[in-house]
Structure 1
Amino acid sequence: MPISDGDREKVADQLQQACGDGRITLEEFSVRVGAAWAAGTDLELSRATEGLAPAPVVGAARSVETVVTILSQRKRRGRWRLRSGRLGTFTLFGSTHLDLRDVVTGADTIEIDGVCLFGELKVTVPEGVEVELAGASILSSEEIRLAAVPRLPGTPEIRVRVNAWFSSVEVRSRGPAEKSAWSWLRGD
């Protein structure tokens, strides 16, 4: 029996709720929602929600609202929570790296607003999300490198607005995060 776009939308809504609850990451959401929209049968569609039990996620995802880096390096990667969909950044004589592939959020839009002075800001996003890069760039470099893949329906739009002076701002997409040797030993 063929499936309808309405069926796909219901699954996409379930996946968005699971992402917002922290049961799946933004990257996993992107992969699963892509599979749901590409599904041609009920079996393929049900695979997109496989393993989505309403049980709470083991472990905590740290909520982050601002990232301040002064004369140092700061990285946000792995599983972390962005409750409101907004993130403020300030970098002064430092390096800030934000990896959004495992971020937990239920927001339709992720907004990163900030200032980068004599520093570097790098943002890594999952493949298949829409990204907008804006802001003033004075004696700075600004680069956006996204994979040439179609946008996955239901994924949040990411807006990066950074005013940069004597700095480097880079946004790039990457495929799924590689599992470390340790995660393989644990059975992740």
Structure 2
Amino acid sequence: MEGVELEKKPDLRASDADRDEVAALLGTAMAEGRLSPEEHSERLELLYAAKTYAELAPLTADLPQDSARPRVSLRKDDAELPPPSRPSSTITCVLSGVERKGRWLVEPVTTVNCVLGGVELDFRNAVLTQREVVVNVSCLLGGVEVTVPPGVRVEVDTTAVLGGAGDPKNDTLDPNAPVIRFTGFVLLGGLDFKRKPPKGKGRWKDLLG
């Protein structure tokens, strides 16, 4: 979505792919310190309520020209996909099970607290707010199962005590690939990874600026 298109056709309705590109740009701007976390959150709310290009344009109007396109966006082929849901960035699981899957918006930092339970995180059809996101795990006597698509790097920086973290089996060395970084600790529990293609017709693409 080029800036000139916003000027020439402001009344055209924006697609979900357009919104995903703007979301990635806003995530990059926050990572670079151009937006505060509060400003980023406010703009995301306006973004997913926007219906036309004219409503999208002000969200990036004060960002420099060299950021006119996002460096990386997780964008699907299907133009009619629904906007991603925006669940809480904190997941708490005690003596129960929690799953997060489908088309959901991944904040820069997601916190997972798991005690005597299980958490399932499926990133195959998720939308990242920036190129690298962090999942901070605190797992006691429980398990966290993670599913990621091909082409996404997973970095594991967790501490395991009488437990363990599996091998994400990274399939790319591209320095510009999306990154999901896991931090935190696992005590008497497990952090396991599976790599599978996205569900449905959509597939993740790297859009490099």
Q: Which of 104, 107, 121 is equivalent to 1:80?
A: 104
User: Normalising by the residue count of structure 2, what TM-score does the alignment of the two structures yield?
Assistant: 0.56
CA distance in 1, matches of 2:148, 2:82: 24
User: Normalising by the residue count of structure 1, what TM-score does the alignment of the two structures yield?
Assistant: 0.62
Identity of aligned residues (%): 22
1:29 pairs with 2:74? yes
Give the residue type in structure 2 aligned to 1:66. Answer: T
Note closer, same or farther for the CA distance 1:152–1:143 as it changes in structure 2 (3 Å cut): same
* CA-CA distance at 1:123 after TM superposition: 1.2
CA distance in 1, matches of 2:134, 2:101: 17
Q: Is the 8 A contact 1:114 1:163 kept in 2?
A: yes
CA distance in 2, matches of 1:58, 1:138: 41
Q: Is the 8 A contact 1:15 1:29 kept in 2?
A: no
* Count, aligned residues: 138
The list of structure 1 runs, each at least 4 consecutive aligned residues, that deviate by more than 6 angstroms after superposition, is none
CA distance in 2, matches of 1:18, 1:155: 18
1:139 pairs with 2:162? yes
Structure 1 gaps of 5+ residues are 1-13, 23-27, 33-49, 180-188
CA distance in 1, matches of 2:174, 2:20: 13
SS at match of 1:158: strand
Aligned partner of 1:174 in structure 2 is: 196
Note closer, same or farther for the CA distance 1:118–1:59 as it changes in structure 2 (3 Å cut): same
Q: Is the 8 A contact 2:161 2:188 kept in 1?
A: yes
* CA-CA distance at 1:169 after TM superposition: 0.9
Aligned partner of 1:89 in structure 2 is: 112
Note closer, same or farther for the CA distance 1:145–1:105 as it changes in structure 2 (3 Å cut): closer
* CA-CA distance at 1:63 after TM superposition: 3.0
Q: Is the 8 A contact 1:129 1:152 kept in 2?
A: no
* CA-CA distance at 1:174 after TM superposition: 1.3
SS at match of 1:133: strand
Q: Is the 8 A contact 1:91 1:117 kept in 2?
A: yes
1:104 pairs with 2:149? no
* Cα deviation code 1:64-113 (max 9, x no counterpart): 30110000010001111123x21000000000010011112231111000
Bigger share in strand? 1
CA distance in 1, matches of 2:184, 2:137: 5
